[in-house]
A and B are shown apart, each in its own frame.
Chain A
Amino acid sequence: MDSTAQSMTGDRIACRATGVRANAAGACIALLRRDFVLAWRRRGELFLPLLYAVIVTALFPFALGPDPELLARIAGGVLLVIVVLAMLPALESMFRADLDDGTLEQWLLAPQPLALLALTRVIAHWLTTVLPLIIVMPLLGALMNLPVKVLPVLIVTLLLATPLLVLLGAVLSALAAGARRSGILLALMLLPLAVPVVIFAAGAIAGAQSGMPYIAPLTWLAAALVMAIVLAPLACAAALRIAVES
């Protein structure tokens, strides 16, 4: 860390003399690195969503009976819903700590656009809390007897759908950060926004499962993701400004 600061200092002297501001890429990398260090320090917490997903997945066969065909038929949708539910608790605390300790005030005055920092935070959040869920998908798929040919489609779907959900969740999390309590409120706010995502994701998975074309819903998801990458950070930044105002 010290050496980074040292090496940064080198460029900054030049920056200062010419009046050039700290660059955006460097800021994003610094934020990513910080969030990774923080996640690593709390790595125990990162396992909780995984554990949750495994437990819930394991409950389904008990509740529905071990009929492999039944499980195979519902596996895709069930796993999708489990991933969405497992993502929820972490979404709530996306900005809360930073608001409470004053870090957001520092974000607000940083030379970089607030939306860029918010987008970087979304990326860090997705990589640390959601990616592990996607990585264990083959295991969960096996528990649910998911047909092997569906697994790649499921994973691609999740790779498109979960960033979208995290982007939407970031806006809501920023909105709720200034509030007294959130918890169930975040789920209530997320539901309407998540409906289209879940519909298209489930459509792609169902298509793959029944041998029908699944490219169209994936394309819609991808288009929505591109749109959200542009718009959601802006909304998130506006929400963070409201949260910091007091």
Chain B
Amino acid sequence: MAHWLAMGGYAIYVWPAYAVFLAVLAWDWFAPALRRRRITRELRGRLARERTRNARTERAEAST
């Protein structure tokens, strides 16, 4: 195993290359998920505000 990890002496080049590959693709995979969560949170807030606004106007209409 240690022999394999040493990569024939090239470990300091091979493993960072694979680390870059994995890290960048992990970013690529998770960035849209984070963006998506932000979008849905904002949208949920907007919908909630809209509902309270509508409820308020309905009450106002009922009282007049």
Assess A/B contact in the complex (Cβ within 8 A). no
A residues with CB within 8 A of B = none
